[in-house]
């Protein structure tokens, strides 16, 4: 049992949970959150791929890719949340 | 004899998976966001265990902190609109159980396939670590992740800053003309807290930026911490965005991208490949880019949190929503 095996499988599980949430959730906010879980799961696998047995230093390239991914994900989340806010306001106006 | 850290790893992994399930299955949306924030912090802890402190810092600051703030802000807005109209959360018809089960089964199969591929993958194949270690002396910095981000793979990072710029443009367009939920009133304790904590955050953010050259840290982590200053200022109303500040904000949004692209062009103009910094000035150029990018990231993240572009209200009242 090494950390890479444990956390690699954790990443897979988190990705799967996020996928189920993104497909099955009704609430829009919950769907966005589920997609964010998917991205964390994918990041887990990349970080695990960069890991080396303790004396060895980890591979910095996947780390840089994950940091880029985190920033891109927050941008995408912000746009998605703005669309949700707008959509709900429009629905409320239609109802009124 | 098992290593006690393996037990810690197993418990942490179980906690992460349980939090992921709990955050998606809990009914209350506020609890969902709080559980997600805890989940993000646990993931950051796991990445520290995998010797990825840079990624852990970025996830804790941006992936969890800023994302959590964005989610809470959206929830506040949704609840405000719901309170004014009859729309409820579950307005749409429920999905049939069969569809849900089929979706879940397909997701399970996909995850199973990925897990099989992961377990069957050759372990510890040659990565880029040797190449990066070899090229590090030419990068101008001592920390490999910063070297990769700002030198070897600088195109990626430039595009990342452009994505952030595109996001704030998109949010300003989407929210144009949208009325905002009134900000909740903050108590006096909150004001005192902000006064105490703001200087500390500024110092921490700047330190993270500076230390990125030789240790974990850097523009993105520092920028996200400085964005927290913006969030606190907006929440305590110590700073109220005004229409006439739009020019300054736009300038701050493009500052990072502009400096980054300008340095690349000037380096390319000197008969080199873009981003092939001259060795004598590499550290100066990288710090210049990082500093400007940090300002852009901090302002952009705070603007994404604020959402709507500050516009003059037609009735001539204060624009402080």
Nearest chain B residue (CA) to A80:
B171
Does any CB of chain A come closer than 8 Å to the CB of residue B78?
yes
Residue B218 CA to residue B227 CA, distance in Å, equals: 14
User: Does B278 map to a domain?
Assistant: yes
User: Does B186 map to a domain?
Assistant: yes
User: Does B16 map to a domain?
Assistant: no
**Conformation bin of residue B293: beta by default, left when phi > 0, alpha when psi is -120 to 50:** alpha
B24 → closest Cβ in A9, A17, A48:
A17
In this prediction, residue B320 carries a pLDDT of 41
B20 → closest Cβ in A17, A75, A88:
A17
Residue B302 CA to residue B299 CA, distance in Å, equals: 5
Range of the domain at A31: 3-95
Does any CB of chain A come closer than 8 Å to the CB of residue B286?
no
Nearest chain A residue (CA) to B31:
A30
In this prediction, residue B319 carries a pLDDT of 40
Number of domains forming the structure of chain A? 1
**DSSP secondary structure of B88-129:** -TT-SPPPPHHHHHHHHHHHHHHHHHHHHHHHHSPTT---SH
Per-residue pLDDT of chain B in tens (321 residues, 90 and over written 9): 567 888 999 999 999 999 999 999 998 999 999 999 999 999 999 999 888 889 999 999 999 999 999 999 999 888 888 887 765 555 566 778 888 899 899 999 999 999 998 888 876 667 777 788 888 888 778 888 888 888 888 888 899 999 999 999 999 888 887 766 676 667 778 888 888 889 999 999 999 888 888 888 888 889 999 998 888 888 887 788 888 888 888 999 999 999 988 988 888 887 777 777 887 788 888 888 889 999 999 999 999 988 887 776 544 333 443
In this prediction, residue B153 carries a pLDDT of 83
Give pLDDT tens digits for A61-90: 889 999 999 999 999 999 999 999 888 888
User: Does B228 map to a domain?
Assistant: yes
Residue B184 CA to residue B187 CA, distance in Å, equals: 10
User: Does B269 map to a domain?
Assistant: yes
Cβ-Cβ contacts under 8 Å, B86 against chain A: 95
User: Does B157 map to a domain?
Assistant: yes
CATH number for the domain harbouring residue A60: 1.10.287.3510
Range of the domain at B311: 137-321
Cβ-Cβ contacts under 8 Å, A15 against chain B: 111, 114
In this prediction, residue B177 carries a pLDDT of 73
User: Does B211 map to a domain?
Assistant: yes
Number of domains forming the structure of chain B? 1
**Between chains, do B55 and A66 touch, taking CB under 8 Å as contact?**
yes
Contact B256, B292 (CB under 8 A): yes
In this prediction, residue A13 carries a pLDDT of 93
Residue B126 CA to residue B118 CA, distance in Å, equals: 16
**Between chains, do A81 and B107 touch, taking CB under 8 Å as contact?**
no
CB pairs under 8 A between A and B: 264
């Amino acid at each position: 049992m090494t950390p890479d095996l444990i956390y690699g499988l954790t990443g897979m599980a988190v990705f799967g949970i996020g996928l189920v949430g993104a497909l099955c959730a009704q609430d829009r906010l919950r769907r966005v959150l589920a997609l964010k879980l998917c991205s964390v799961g994918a990041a887990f696998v990349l970080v695990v791929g960069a890991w080396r047995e303790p004396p060895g230093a980890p591979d910095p390239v996947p780390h840089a890719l994950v940091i880029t991914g985190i920033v891109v994900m927050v941008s995408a989340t912000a746009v998605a949340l703005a669309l949700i806010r707008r959509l709900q306001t429009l629905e409320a106006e239609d109802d009124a | 004899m098992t290593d006690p850290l393996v037990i810690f790893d197993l418990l942490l992994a179980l906690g992460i998976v349980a939090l992921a399930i709990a955050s998606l299955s809990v009914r209350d949306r506020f609890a969902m966001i709080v559980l997600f924030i805890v989940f993000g912090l646990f993931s950051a802890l796991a990445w520290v265990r995998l010797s990825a402190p840079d990624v852990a810092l970025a996830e804790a600051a941006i992936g969890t902190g800023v994302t959590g703030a964005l989610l809470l802000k959206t929830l506040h807005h949704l609840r405000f609109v719901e309170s004014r109209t009859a729309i409820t959360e579950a307005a749409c018809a429920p999905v049939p159980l069969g569809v849900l089960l089929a979706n879940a089964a397909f997701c399970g199969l996909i995850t199973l396939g990925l897990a099989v591929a992961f377990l069957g993958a050759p372990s510890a194949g040659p990565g880029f670590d040797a190449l990066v270690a070899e090229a590090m002396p030419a990068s101008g910095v001592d920390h490999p992740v910063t070297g990769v981000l700002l030198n070897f793979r600088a195109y990626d990072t430039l595009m990342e800053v452009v994505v952030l710029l595109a996001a704030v443009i998109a949010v300003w367009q989407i929210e144009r003309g949208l009325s905002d939920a009134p900000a909740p009133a903050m108590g006096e304790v909150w004001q005192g807290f902000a006064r105490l904590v703001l200087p500390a955050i500024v110092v921490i953010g700047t330190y993270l930026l500076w230390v990125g050259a030789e240790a974990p840290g850097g523009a993105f982590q520092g920028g996200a911490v400085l964005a927290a200053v913006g969030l606190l200022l907006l929440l305590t109303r110590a700073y109220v965005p005004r229409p006439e500040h739009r020019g300054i904000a736009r300038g701050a949004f493009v500052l990072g991208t502009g400096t980054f692209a300008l340095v690349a062009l000037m380096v390319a103009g000197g008969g080199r490949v873009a981003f092939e910094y001259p060795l004598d000035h590499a550290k100066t150029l990288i710090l210049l880019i990082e500093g400007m990018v940090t300002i852009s990231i901090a302002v952009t993240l705070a603007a994404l949190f604020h959402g709507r572009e500050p516009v003059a209200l037609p009735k001539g009242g204060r624009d402080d929503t």
